[in-house]
Amino acid sequence: AEHAGMQARDRTHAGMLSNIRDANARAAMQNRISNNSMPR
């Protein structure tokens, strides 16, 4: 039972990390788009 709980925690942690990576990638894409569309 403990082992299953640990695995579930690891999966949740990995999911959070990938969500953060996705959010960072989206933010970077938005920054690039807004930088490109803004006249200097």
26 lies in some domain:
yes
20 lies in some domain:
yes
Report pLDDT for 38.
67
5 lies in some domain:
yes
Tell me which DSSP letter residue 1 carries.
-
Report pLDDT for 1.
57
What domain count does the chain have? 1
pTM: 0.56
40 lies in some domain:
no
Residue 31 to residue 27: CA distance in whole angstroms: 6
In which residue ranges of the chain is pLDDT below 70?
1, 38-40
Report pLDDT for 34.
85
Q: Tokens 């039972």 correspond to what residue?
A: 1
Report pLDDT for 4.
81
Residue 11 to residue 16: CA distance in whole angstroms: 9
- Structural domain of residue 29, as residue ranges? 1-35
